[in-house]
Structure 1
Amino acid sequence: MHWAMQATVNEVGLVTAAEGIDCDYHKGGTIVLARTPAQLARAQAEVADSHEWGPGDLRFLEPSEVSEHVRATKVLGATFTPHCAAIHPGRLVRGLARTVERLGVTIHEHTPVTAIEPRRAVTSYGVLRAEVVIRATEGFTPGLEGQSRAIAPVYSLMVATEPLDAATWERTGLAGRPTFSDYRHLIIYGQRTADGRIAFGGRGAPYHFGSRTKPSFDNSRRVFAALQATLRDLFDGLDEVRFTHAWGGPLGIARDWCASVGLDRATGLGWAGGYVGDGVSTTNLAGRTLTDLVLRRDSDLVRLPWVGHRSPDWEPEPLRWLGINAGLRAMTVADAEERLTKHSSRIARLISPLVGG
């Protein structure tokens, strides 16, 4: 599965180049910073583990090596893998839409599906019948009839700076455009965009009761302010930089935090999802895998371990609301605990079964 995901990063780049999709694809790897002693221990453990179960090409970087990629503050070390690319996902999806339409596919926008049934998709305008119906609705899955507990939509929000000048880039690095994060418990992520901004995001927005999703949930001034403060803490010299964009959306999280794809041949119902925010590349792998499943191709893809996996349902409300929001709050407290104690968080160990640990 690990090798398939690495190959998928390259596959996305090859397809966008072949189809002329201008989505700012740049394979600069990803660097994950360790900025506290507890984070440093996790980074070193991850590198050691990668040699046990994976390709073993995850590298540990000393602080002097980190500065060759990014000039962040309080750095004690980092991990680096070359198997990651920065991309503009909005341009990617619009480019893919134009490509498949050119190939003869019709995309029916503004046609909400309210339920999926064996070989049927029920829409506001009628019933569509097909030999195979694929559910690929990710964070919006609970809006389908009978799917309220299949996926939990948890919001991730982002901010973007104005284009930065040369002096600011000299202070921050990122010349090779690696994506970046650190080993805190409450996830953050960022990239240097092709037009010279920093796009930066993270968790922290609340889960909404009953797995509700609304456009207004994309906007949380509290979380946007926290993201701006976090980015300014990561890099010196951003105090006077303006933030010009802010947005967000729901991620799809399965109860066991495991993404999956599959096809029930008896009912004609297939599925893909549970990407927990890693869907930009994973959806490509899912689409190619589903293609082989639908067309009955015997390939390496259909034998990957996520094929046919079924995650358990989430707990009913109000347990779901209490548990997810308690987990989000606990991760924030765990990070504060580690900054104070210099040791791995006991709170994080207690809450890890809820968040996929």
Structure 2
Amino acid sequence: MDNVARRPALPGDRDVDVAIVGAGFTGLWTAYYLATTAPGLRIAVLEAEYAGFGASGRNGGWCSALFPKPVSALARRYGRGPAVALYQALRDTVDEVGRVAAAEQIDCHYAKGGTVVLARSAAQLDRARAEVAEAEEYGLPLSLLSAAEARARCGACGVLGGTYTPDCAAIHPARLVRGLAGAVERRGVTVHEGTRVLAARPGAVVTATGTVRADVVVRATEGYTPGLPGLRRALAPVYSLMIATEPLPAAFWDRVGLSRRETFSDHRHLIIYGQRTADDRLAFGGRGAPYHFGSRVRPSYDREPAVFAALRATLADLFGDELPVSHAWGGPLGVPRDWMPSVGLRDGLGWAGGYVGDGVATSNLAGRTLADLILGVDSERVRLPWVGHRSRRWEPEPLRWVGVNAGLRLAGASDAEEARTGRSSRLARLLTPLFS
């Protein structure tokens, strides 16, 4: 997307009703629903680079009902009803994204094939069974697959079983976010690219080329949030990296399947994720890149040769082939200290984010929720348990650097332990206090 045509920067001071910082999914969905519901509203979106420059344009293309906090954890804190309501709202959101894409004629390669998560060891199969039992307890659709059923969906090596949920669509994220930027412009929203925000506070957004005065300011900056004044410890920018293969031949797909473009993963601790693209590539990513001291975000951090090599090796291990890779990239996502995304509006300042990599659909729900909050609409969305949530701040450095990187290393070591012993990792128990 480096060659996209850039929209003009903010030319000077201006007054609007709503100023939105960030032209990723969160900011653009918020603008879309505001402009759709209240067409006369003056809305400006301010973006340092271009629409979709961050995680919105670089992610793995899972438009899913995933949420970083398990439904059981939400139920313990907020009650069963609110927890299930949030998960149901996310399930509905997967379809809402598809509806808008079709209505706005955004060719984002939307294909709702669901997600298959493979179990390739006894320990992973135990986790799969536990996840299905929890989903059944709360009435959520997650099926336990036999080895044959799992291989029929995703023909990887060494599959013992897995899980399947219908609540995910594979998409091309850059196509969706750029199409969404065009859709909001058609509704009268102004998108200023190349406009770096220096400060965002109630009533005003300060940039290098002017100040935007607004009744409501919305911060939609996800992994770039720590770069704003006073927010260094609000979110930790953690990098996720991806590779994509060349288009693969029909013989490969006859063996591997993914015929409905199911997204896929497995039940290891260090997250991996993949999809079959509309042009028959494998787009595949995972965690493992280091967190950088002081929550620094740099273009050079998008490329970690060791992580790219590990992703290639993992693909070969999954599918038994050394596959030809044509693209490699990465970028930061936003992680709150308690892994709890949030959305809210207080004293004229709105926010949403902290999706921990599950933001494609979640950002749509956040955008609709912010629109309701800004317009004073008393909907079921504004009563969901993530609304108004405030995560505690991350620890100061160097504790933050030590803790986040220790967690990444522990996840990888836990997988290695399970591969070596064939049993559930004892090390993995140490992950819970780091990410809760």
- The TM-score normalised by the length of structure 1 is 0.97
State yes or no: 1:293 paired with 2:373.
yes
Q: Distance in 1 between matches of 2:140 and 2:177?
A: 32
Higher mean C-alpha deviation, range 112-121 or range 156-165: 112-121
Q: Distance in 1 between matches of 2:212 and 2:294?
A: 28
2:351 alignment counterpart: 271
Moved over 6 A (4+): none
**Residues 139-168 of structure 1, C-alpha deviation per residue, up to 9 Å, x if partnerless?**
000000000000000000000000000111
Aligned-CA RMSD value: 0.8
1:334 alignment counterpart: 414
Alignment partner for residue 246 of structure 2, among 162, 186, 193?
Answer: 162
Q: Secondary structure of 2:338's partner?
A: coil
1:251-266 equivalence runs, <5 A: 251-264=333-346
**Residues 217-249 of structure 1, C-alpha deviation per residue, up to 9 Å, x if partnerless?**
10111101100100110112x22x310000010
Q: Distance in 2 between matches of 1:107 and 1:19?
A: 17
Q: Secondary structure of 1:185's partner?
A: coil
Q: Which amino acid aligns with 1:171?
A: R
Q: Distance in 2 between matches of 1:67 and 1:338?
A: 22
1:144 alignment counterpart: 228
2:303 alignment counterpart: 219
State yes or no: 1:283 paired with 2:368.
no
Q: Distance in 2 between matches of 1:301 and 1:327?
A: 33
Deviation of the 1:67 alpha carbon: 2.0
Q: Distance in 2 between matches of 1:245 and 1:189?
A: 16
Deviation of the 1:355 alpha carbon: 2.4
1:247 alignment counterpart: 329
Q: Distance in 1 between matches of 2:362 and 2:307?
A: 26
Q: Distance in 1 between matches of 2:368 and 2:140?
A: 26
Alignment partner for residue 9 of structure 1, among 91, 94, 97?
Answer: 94
1:39 alignment counterpart: 124
State the percentage of identical aligned residues: 65
Deviation of the 1:120 alpha carbon: 1.3
**Residues 292-340 of structure 1, C-alpha deviation per residue, up to 9 Å, x if partnerless?**
0000000011011100000000000000001100110111000001111
Deviation of the 1:196 alpha carbon: 0.5
**Residues 194-233 of structure 1, C-alpha deviation per residue, up to 9 Å, x if partnerless?**
0010000000000000000011110111101100100110
What stretches of structure 1 of length at least 5 have no aligned partner? none
1:355 alignment counterpart: 435
Deviation of the 1:56 alpha carbon: 3.2
Q: Which amino acid aligns with 1:138?
A: E
1:69 alignment counterpart: 153
Q: Secondary structure of 2:434's partner?
A: coil
Deviation of the 1:126 alpha carbon: 2.3
Alignment partner for residue 82 of structure 1, among 159, 166, 179?
Answer: 166
1:175-186 equivalence runs, <5 A: 175-186=259-270
1:106-145 equivalence runs, <5 A: 106-145=190-229
Alignment partner for residue 322 of structure 1, among 379, 402, 417?
Answer: 402
Q: Distance in 2 between matches of 1:93 and 1:70?
A: 28
**Residues 257-292 of structure 1, C-alpha deviation per residue, up to 9 Å, x if partnerless?**
00000000xx21111000000111111000000000
**Residues 63-93 of structure 1, C-alpha deviation per residue, up to 9 Å, x if partnerless?**
0111221101111110000010000000000
Q: Secondary structure of 2:356's partner?
A: coil
Q: Distance in 2 between matches of 1:114 and 1:257?
A: 27
Deviation of the 1:116 alpha carbon: 1.2
Q: Secondary structure of 1:130's partner?
A: strand
Alignment partner for residue 289 of structure 2, among 183, 199, 205?
Answer: 205
**Residues 106-125 of structure 1, C-alpha deviation per residue, up to 9 Å, x if partnerless?**
10111111111121111112
- The TM-score normalised by the length of structure 2 is 0.80
Size of the aligned set, in residue pairs, is 351
Q: Secondary structure of 1:57's partner?
A: coil
Deviation of the 1:341 alpha carbon: 1.6
1:301-312 equivalence runs, <5 A: 301-312=381-392
2:280 alignment counterpart: 196
Alignment partner for residue 23 of structure 1, among 94, 104, 108?
Answer: 108
Q: Secondary structure of 1:107's partner?
A: strand
Is the 8 Å Cα contact of residues 151 and 159 (structure 2) preserved in structure 1?
no
State yes or no: 1:105 paired with 2:170.
no
Q: Distance in 2 between matches of 1:247 and 1:163?
A: 17
Deviation of the 1:343 alpha carbon: 1.6
Q: Distance in 2 between matches of 1:56 and 1:161?
A: 34
Q: Secondary structure of 2:351's partner?
A: strand
What stretches of structure 2 of length at least 5 have no aligned partner? 1-85
